[in-house]
Structure 1
């Protein structure tokens, strides 16, 4: 889905702020939120693609103003409510106030029927697909052409895995793009590598 979460390649946000040797957690609740979501995945309550998609479904203003662990907590609570683990009313009773959850999900999709297998050196183009559900293809590579440099083992296809849709596992291909092709007239010369699922690719002419 083309949501507020897909910020790769966007302009106007200024330089990336960071601190050397920053701690992973800044408050006790962050440790608990991170532990709870990992435990829920281990128990099989939801999978990682469902978890990522619930973050993508956050209301845009909430997403932009939330911290990393607040997004994680929103995803966890949303999925626990949707899966029937706990009612929203109980969460809000314990929190003594309203709890913002993610918006409802759109349908997922299975593998692209006409997908091909590629080898190192093949020129490929990222399909111009607009998917309403979960997708692991960053928007800035849509429609762009690159070169395959390696192949991974097969993984669950995220567009289906986040929605309980039956699909075959797929490899990802490490595709090398030229920055000048991704952002014409707006970037220094560089090479950008992206792991791209098989269903997202087609052979370039």
Structure 2
């Protein structure tokens, strides 16, 4: 996530002003793209983290100037071509056909009950990312920790604006699929997840934050290390 896609903490992008009556889908094609997600997930195109990583492979200019579901469509194509499920020449040919014939009917496909059942279940409840691990729980509620500044190439859920900052552990959430591994087609490599709390001034500086404001963030174990205090160092 070392790229423009990591927007947390950035400024200068203007206000977010969603319309009061914003529709769920702005066009019919967005409905199709939404329905494709669980179907392609089940077909092995991607996992949740590699789905996100495929979006991060977009050209930054295209990313900022395209609608939300076009980002989904990009990662569908990226993983489909990368894994050999989609022929890019065939994709270009079909795209051009519908550009030239916008009223042409879409191909009809036989409905697969098992796929429909999976799509309906995944759309409602998602796919649980919890996994067991033999790794020890390293931190307890109240521990002071520092967020890492070391990010390897690929996908990560360690946002830029919290890197190198100090926080307090306020909860242990269990162990989950590790995005930095699964996002680039590695093993699930389950890691413990903690909720940590930051003082606003730690994140934004004393001149820009209220002393009474805090922010929380869920972090994976490899993202954090204990803060060594003088008392601990002398123990």
TM-score, structure 1 as length reference: 0.86
- Give 2:216's match in structure 1, choosing from 184, 193, 198: 193
Query: For residues 90 and 59 of structure 2, what CA distance do their matches in structure 1 show?
Result: 22
Report Cα offsets for 1:157-181 as digits up to 9, x if no partner. Answer: 1111012223530121111011111
Query: For residues 134 and 53 of structure 1, what CA distance do their matches in structure 2 show?
Result: 6
Write out the 4+ residue segments of structure 1 that deviate beyond 4 Å after TM superposition: none
Q: Which residue of 2 aligns with 1:160?
A: 181
The secondary structure found in structure 2 opposite 1:96 is helix
Q: Which has the larger radius of gyration?
A: 2
Query: For residues 52 and 42 of structure 2, what CA distance do their matches in structure 1 show?
Result: 15
The two structures, once aligned, show a CA RMSD in angstroms of 1.8
Q: Which residue of 2 aligns with 1:68?
A: 68
- Give 1:139's match in structure 2, choosing from 160, 169, 176: 160
1:29 matched to 2:29: yes
- Give 1:128's match in structure 2, choosing from 149, 162, 175: 149
Unaligned runs of 5+ in 2: 98-134, 229-235
Query: Which protein is richer in helix relative to its size?
Result: 2
Report if aligned partners of 1:54, 1:79 keep a CA contact under 8 Å in 2.
Answer: yes
Q: 1:115 to 1:59 in 2, by over 3 A?
A: farther
Q: Give, in angstroms, the shift of residue 19 of structure 1.
A: 2.3
Report if aligned partners of 2:182, 2:189 keep a CA contact under 8 Å in 1.
Answer: no
Query: For residues 115 and 179 of structure 1, what CA distance do their matches in structure 2 show?
Result: 30
Report Cα offsets for 1:121-155 as digits up to 9, x if no partner. Answer: 11111011132110011100000000111111211
Aligned length: 189
Report if aligned partners of 2:53, 2:184 keep a CA contact under 8 Å in 1.
Answer: no
Q: Which residue of 2 aligns with 1:43?
A: 43
Report if aligned partners of 2:197, 2:216 keep a CA contact under 8 Å in 1.
Answer: yes
Unaligned runs of 5+ in 1: 98-113
The secondary structure found in structure 1 opposite 2:198 is strand
TM-score, structure 2 as length reference: 0.76
Report if aligned partners of 1:176, 1:191 keep a CA contact under 8 Å in 2.
Answer: yes
